[in-house]
Amino acid sequence: MKIADNFFIYFWNNPKENNCNSYVIDGKVPVLIDPGLEQRVDNLFDRMREDGFDPNRIEVVIGTHCHPDHFTGSRRFAGSNVKVALSREEEKFMIDEGSRWYSSQGKDAPEFPVTFYLKEGDLKIGKHEFEVFLTPGHSPGSLSVYWPRNRTLICGDVIFRGSIGRVDLPGGNGQQLKQSIEKLSKLKVDLILPGHGPAIQGSANVEGNFQLIRNYFRMM
């Protein structure tokens, strides 16, 4: 779904489509955030073409984290000039404990090296300026991408509408997740785009969602 000249959102609507939400930011250097499952990438590409975006133009792929439903699709870009990025912490997790997680799901971890690492701080891709936040808890090296100009937060599986990412998977940590969410709650956000489920739109709804999550943590 095209929501602006340079922004495309692909929500996971059914099992025949991708298994996570994917986002494309167009421009001089087109970016795909979370390619999803490898076997569903063709469907994702079809949806891009329907919106008038040629997936062959993608130059950068960012994984919010390496769980199979978000990252096995990165294998489709192996052998190309596309740059693939994770946090260094997440690559280490993928190589060690994460590879066992992939095996438990009947999948092999991507077999090519990450092209570059993302760390917390400013990130400029083409003319777009972002801020990267390390947000562990759901996964040890999970990251969130904040787009200040549009007050938009792409947060992987850290926050959902009315819920939070699970912490019972390998590498999960509830205290870290709480700290990550509190960090993100301090940003000026009008649109939260999670890894699954619907967006959270409007500053009042965003703040209400953070407050709901704070109440949840208080009850734990």
User: pLDDT (tens digit, 9 = 90+) per residue, 142-158?
Assistant: 999 999 999 999 999 99
Pairing of strands 143-147, 128-134: antiparallel
Terminal alpha carbon distance of the chain: 37
Domain ranges of the chain: 2-219
pLDDT, tens digit (0-9, with 9 covering 90-100), for 69-85: 899 899 899 888 999 99
Nearest-CA neighbor of 55 among 79, 35, 78?
Answer: 35
Task: State the pLDDT confidence band at 109, using cuts at 50, 70 and 90.
Answer: low
Domain 2-219 is found in CATH 3.40.640.10: no
Which pLDDT belongs to residue 216? Answer: 78
Q: Dihedral, CA atoms, 178, 114, 193, 121, nearest 10 degrees?
A: 60
Q: Angle of helix 174-184 relative to helix 203-219, nearest 10 degrees?
A: 150
